[in-house]
A and B are shown apart, each in its own frame.
Chain A
């Protein structure tokens, strides 16, 4: 088993499949239990090191660790940003001295989890690093797709929105390719990175043309502030060209799934009627997040120590 989960690229097909299967088994093991707790990680310490506000991701990891009976320490480092306060390296040494078995890190700088992994002995789980990756989000998305669609191999997944600044998009492209899905990215050209042509994904600027050939459409959040930096002219124009409204949702095949990693900007990239429709898996995504994070913690921590 791998020691850290820093990038979706750390997961080969077997490992990723094992992780999703484990999430499913953990879900089944908890179903119907009065006490939603398994003793698997009793006595192990998991530190949530969050340099950014992300209540949903932190709570998801915290719940996952607690359901496995791990001790959880929340270390909120928000404010001690990269330019001031204690350095990441000093914090790493503190966590090392505390004997953290796993560190879950959310950080505004791309690559922060890679750096941390070089400074601590425990496992590092990347819970989002800058505009780089968010591998457990990709795992929960893949899990949700597999549960709802019954497969990932050959699944046509369309990811729409601010790919340039999206760690969710980067992790999803990598993991979905590993698991055999066909990914298409749809965005205004300004919100696709130079170099995207080297990614294992197709590119399109024509959302309407892609929708009928889509099994899963994943809408990414688009921050209004991008407008002020000329990535697109106005919220309305963005919405018209790349938003998932009712008209566009009707272009999807009947059994297609609508996903969003959250937090949603309703009325911008997704219409409320679509987000709340029967084909939306947005609420399941949240529930599944706990299961895949349990699976990730379980596999990283319960494997033979020092097997690598």
Chain B
């Protein structure tokens, strides 16, 4: 079942070789390999083999909003996007702030069997920022939680943030911060600038993100812990992160595909499909984010895949929930915004979308290039193909993609989770 001979793939964009997989584990990488016993043969001529992608920031909506997404539907979207592992954010209903909820999500992911679903635990009870959740219980649970985040909300209280950073040192945890000073973003609807002033939509100033990132980097250095900054969206944030890293502090950061591609001008349509938190920003920010990602100041690309039902998007801008789909478009957008302009090669893509996120999340079997003895978590990309986004054809239960009718480079042809094909010929296998 989980034995394959993948022929003539370009290994992470480099040499062409065959990959032999037996019982879910890579046994050999080389030319002219013979198929292991009972193995299926897949001709990967012209395709690039990458370690399976790992998403540090996915909203799967289950439990609580199964009308918008389930662990299974989100897992399917992830596999189709080339992912073999996703980290499920804690802002479900009930909130993933106990061992019970994180274990539920973890089991749902295992049952779906399309990607490894690694739950993220809430930092504070109910994401309210008041009382620390039982982080240790979640760490010790079957879900083995290592990333904690109140994403959707900022851990705004500096004392709470300090305590959380300190507390997770006991089990090598990391706090993933949604950096947004709430006092500066009350009622905020979009990036504060030229377009917000014209559109009469309350502004979300860049400084509300940057001030929290600066504070949290200082706290992280002070207590010697690990900070991961979610969805960095401004040029100023990149500068602060560069400075924090120069101090040797253990700070990592992610950028979302939409922040690499789309600007706040999108809001002029008043179509809430373009509403996201943090908001779409300016060309200057896009340029700085791309440069920061190329340089490594921003470590990873994470989707912030945020499905929303139509009633939460087919409405007035201010009434709409923030967020957009991302799992099936992320790789293509990285190719368009980073690979095509020459900012990243395929090794760079593997680093920022697979290896580095796997290490941040502590997912041992993921983020490893195909080599003997390594779990066969990988994806095959056709770099020469292109595709047009049709919302109704996406695997998510929701339709809130800002990329409808846009054409992107690169398609995912196949994805393997421990040797099992979750995607073949661009189609989900379950």
The interface of chain A, by Cβ under 8 A from chain B, is: 82-83, 87-89, 107, 109-112, 114-115, 129-133, 167, 170, 193-196, 198-199
Contacts and interface: CB of A to CB of B under 8 A. Distances in A.
Contacts of B201: 110-111, 130-132
B198 interface: yes
B269 A194 contact: no
Contact of A110 (B193, B200, B271): B200
B346 interface: no
A22 B422 CA distance: 66
Contacts of B319: 82-83, 109
A132 B317 CA distance: 12
A167 B201 CA distance: 11
Given A110-B201, A111-B201, A114-B269, A194 B316 contact: no
B205 A195 contact: no
A111 B316 contact: yes
Interface residues of B, number: 24
Given A82-B318, A111-B316, A195-B195, 20 more contacts: A83-B319, A89-B314, A109-B318, A110-B270, A110-B318, A111-B201, A112-B316, A114-B269, A115-B271, A115-B316, A132-B200, A193-B196, A194-B192, A194-B193, A194-B203, A195-B192, A195-B196, A195-B197, A198-B198, A199-B198
A149 to B, nearest CB: 27
A133 to B, nearest CB: 7
B311 interface: yes
Contacts of A114: 269-270
B223 interface: no
A114 to B, nearest CB: 4
Contacts of B199: 110-111, 132
B402 to A, nearest CB: 16
Contact of B200 (A83, A87, A170): A170
Given A87-B311, A111-B270, A195 B198 contact: yes
Interface string B159-197: 000000000000000000000000000000100111111
A131 B316 CA distance: 13
B390 interface: no
B315 interface: yes
A194 B196 CA distance: 8
Interface string B266-304: 000111000000000000000000000000000000000
18 contacts: A82-B316, A88-B315, A88-B316, A109-B317, A109-B319, A110-B200, A110-B318, A115-B317, A131-B201, A131-B202, A133-B200, A167-B200, A193-B196, A195-B194, A195-B198, A198-B194, A198-B197, A199-B198
Contacts, number: 76
B190 to A, nearest CB: 10
Interface string B56-84: 00000000000000000000000000000
Nearest to A51: B316
A108 B202 CA distance: 13
Nearest to A119: B314
Contacts of A194: 192-193, 196-197, 203, 205
Contacts of B317: 109-111, 115
B229 to A, nearest CB: 24
Contacts of A196: 197
Given A112-B316, A195-B192, A130 B197 contact: no
A82 B317 CA distance: 10
A112 B198 CA distance: 15
A130 B199 CA distance: 10
B193 to A, nearest CB: 5
Contacts of A87: 311, 314-315
A220 to B, nearest CB: 14
A22 B402 CA distance: 41
B142 to A, nearest CB: 38
Given A110-B200, A167-B200, A199-B197, A130 B318 contact: yes
Nearest to A83: B319
Most buried by A among B189, B200, B203: B200
Contacts of B202: 131
